[in-house]
Amino acid sequence: MYKTSLGRPLMMILAALTLVACGSQPTDVSRQDDRGADKLEGAMVGQRWNLLLVGTDERLSMPTTPHFTISPDGRVNGHDGCNTLNGKVQLGDSNRIEFSELATTRMGCPQLDDARRVTGMMENAYRYLIDHDRLVFFGPDQRVLGGFRKAN
């Protein structure tokens, strides 16, 4: 496990975000287009999100930085650290998120187990919280699954 001097303050921030997520109103709203076609809007859409942490304090050293982008049509594209990934995502009320049909190229990579953890984190995400340039995924049990940072 790789820890830095930022580990404790970052854990405190994630703990505070967990409490906020449990009792706050949604900060990001996704909407459907009035014509009936699904069109996602909000702070998550159209933005590249780079992996920051798995869980509350684990940093991964990968050949490529794991990341993803959500398009307005509900498609998700990115990289799990070893392979490209794509699939679909639905954003709902109360910061609800559901990734589906996630697929990767699954080429050989020394950190393939870590890449699977990144994909698994996305598959298990139930809710999210955005705080400035940080995105945190929570599981159905409200446990922190990991966090991403908005790419510049």
Task: Please write the tens of the pLDDT for every residue from 6-22.
Answer: 444 444 444 444 434 44
Q: What is the pTM of this model?
A: 0.74
CATH number given to 7-150: 2.40.128.270
Task: Tell me the chain's radius of gyration from C-alpha atoms.
Answer: 15
Closest among 68, 73, 72 to 83, alpha carbons compared: 68
- Go through the chain and tell me how many residues it has: 152
Could you tell me if 132 and 149 are in contact, meaning their C-beta atoms sit under 8 angstroms apart?
no
Q: Where are the domains of the chain?
A: 7-150
Three-state DSSP state, 57: coil
* Range from 2-6, 40-44, 126-130 that averages highest in pLDDT: 126-130
Cβ-in-10-Å burial (0-12, 13-18, 19+) of 33 comes to: exposed
Task: Please write the tens of the pLDDT for every residue from 38-90.
Answer: 688 888 999 999 999 999 988 988 888 999 999 999 999 999 999 999 999 99
